[in-house]
Amino acid sequence: EPEVTQTPSHQVTQMGQEVILRCVPISNHLYFYWYRQILGQKVEFLVSFYNNEISEKSEIFDDQFSVERPDGSNFTLKIRSTKLEDSAMYFCASQRSGGVYEQYFGPGTRLTVT
């Protein structure tokens, strides 16, 4: 069964450094998402991406964040200058089409900012 994959599984970085989290969505899916979960808190929506542009972003997704689909298969989340509060589990999800269809989640990348 097709699945969403994410790399790395765990990333440790120093405050102020740039990180790129990578995701490979399911191949025939058209909508892509990033969510994050700070330890002990709810899973929060960050951004949705369709047709090579951002469809919607939350207030968390400020200028320090960007997303890209560089080669038609990968979907990346970049954090330009990491802060301690960016430490969280980041989940990528993909969806065949919008609305009624199920979102399929990857296993997550645990980001630790020291």
Partner 1 sequence: KQEVTQIPAALSVPEGENLVLNCSFTDSAIYNLQWFRQDPGKGLTSLLLIQSSQREQTSGRLNASLDKSSGRSTLYIAASQPGDSATYLCAASNDYKLSFGAGTTVTVRA
CB of 16 to partner 1, least distance (A): 26
Sheet holding 65-68, edge to edge: 5-7, 19-24, 75-79, 65-68
Cis ω for the linkage preceding 8 (within 30 of 0): yes
Residue 22 has a CB neighbour count (10 Å cut-off) of 16
Footprint (CB under 8 A) of partner 1, residues 39-98: 41-45, 48, 50, 55-56, 89, 91, 93, 95, 98
Q: 41-68 burial string, b = 16+ CB within 10 Å, else e?
A: eeebbbbbbbeeeeeebeeebeeebebe
Nearer to partner 1, 33 or 75 (CB): 33
Nearer to partner 1, 44 or 74 (CB): 44
Spatial separation of the C-alpha atoms in residues 32 and 28, rounded to whole Å:
11
Using CB under 8 A as the binding rule, whether residue 103 contacts partner 1 is answered as yes
Nearer to partner 1, 51 or 71 (CB): 51
Distance of CA 94 to the CA centre of its chain: 10
Using CB under 8 A as the binding rule, whether residue 106 contacts partner 1 is answered as yes
Nearer to partner 1, 81 or 112 (CB): 112
The binding site for partner 1 (CB under 8 A) comprises 31, 33, 35, 41-45, 48, 50, 55-56, 89, 91, 93, 95, 98-108, 110
